[in-house]
């Protein structure tokens, strides 16, 4: 399993306990074992690309209606590139429902203009065996945040 490096911006006003929970959740995001997979193939499979090495947490985002905790993050790769994304932390059961619904949507329509779910934690792909109430991460590819890089 890949050991991700984490950092938190000073503007990210999370307690030490909250930061540990975020690290725990994002450490469990599925990462491709196939170096040859393209970004779109990884996204279709719901996994981060194999070259992901780090996560920088910038700040919390507000305004959502699902009850999930939402964070602006950047995902770093071996080549030094960074991709701005959004991490959505929610109860495990809700993450499974959202992933399943997105998979059904992708099978029916062209989702080019939908904000895609790019990766989910490993247990969401195969939901059997997880304890109820586990807090989990479901990531959606981010959009450019006004005023952001």
How much is the average pLDDT of 23-27? 92
**Would you say residue 124 lies in a domain?**
yes
Higher confidence at residue 145 or residue 64? 64
State the total domains in the chain.
Answer: 1
The pLDDT value recorded for residue 52 is: 95
* 20-29, 84-93, 125-134: least confidently modelled range: 125-134
Tell me the residue range of the domain where 84 lies.
Answer: 5-140
How many other CB atoms sit within 10 Å of the CB of residue 74? 19
Per the CB < 8 A criterion, the answer to whether 70 and 88 are in contact is: yes
**Would you say residue 149 lies in a domain?**
no
Decide: helix, strand or coil at residue 16. Answer: helix
pLDDT tens digits, 30-82: 999 999 999 889 988 889 999 999 999 999 888 777 788 899 999 999 989 99
**Would you say residue 122 lies in a domain?**
yes
**Would you say residue 145 lies in a domain?**
no
Q: pTM for this structure?
A: 0.81
**Would you say residue 136 lies in a domain?**
yes
pLDDT tens digits, 93-119: 888 888 889 889 888 988 778 888 888
> For residue 135, which of 22, 3, 9 has the smallest C-alpha distance?
22
**Would you say residue 147 lies in a domain?**
no
Phi-psi region of 129 (alpha: psi -120 to 50; beta: other; left: phi over 0): left
**Would you say residue 148 lies in a domain?**
no
**Would you say residue 146 lies in a domain?**
no
Higher confidence at residue 112 or residue 129? 112
């Amino acid at each position: 399993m890949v050991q991700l490096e984490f950092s938190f911006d000073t503007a990210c006003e999370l307690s030490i306990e909250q930061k540990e929970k975020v690290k725990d959740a994002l450490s469990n995001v599925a990462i491709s074992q196939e170096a040859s997979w393209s970004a779109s193939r990884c996204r279709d499979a719901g996994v981060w690309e194999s070259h992901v090495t780090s996560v920088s947490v910038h700040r919390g985002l507000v305004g959502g209606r699902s009850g999930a905790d939402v964070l602006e993050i950047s995902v770093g790769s071996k080549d030094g590139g960074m991709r701005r994304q959004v991490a959505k932390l929610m109860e495990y059961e809700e993450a499974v429902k959202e992933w399943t619904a997105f998979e059904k949507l992708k099978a029916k329509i062209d989702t080019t203009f939908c904000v895609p779910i790019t990766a989910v934690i490993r247990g969401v792909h195969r939901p059997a065996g997880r304890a109820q109430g586990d807090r989990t991460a479901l990531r959606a590819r981010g959009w450019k945040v006004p005023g952001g890089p």
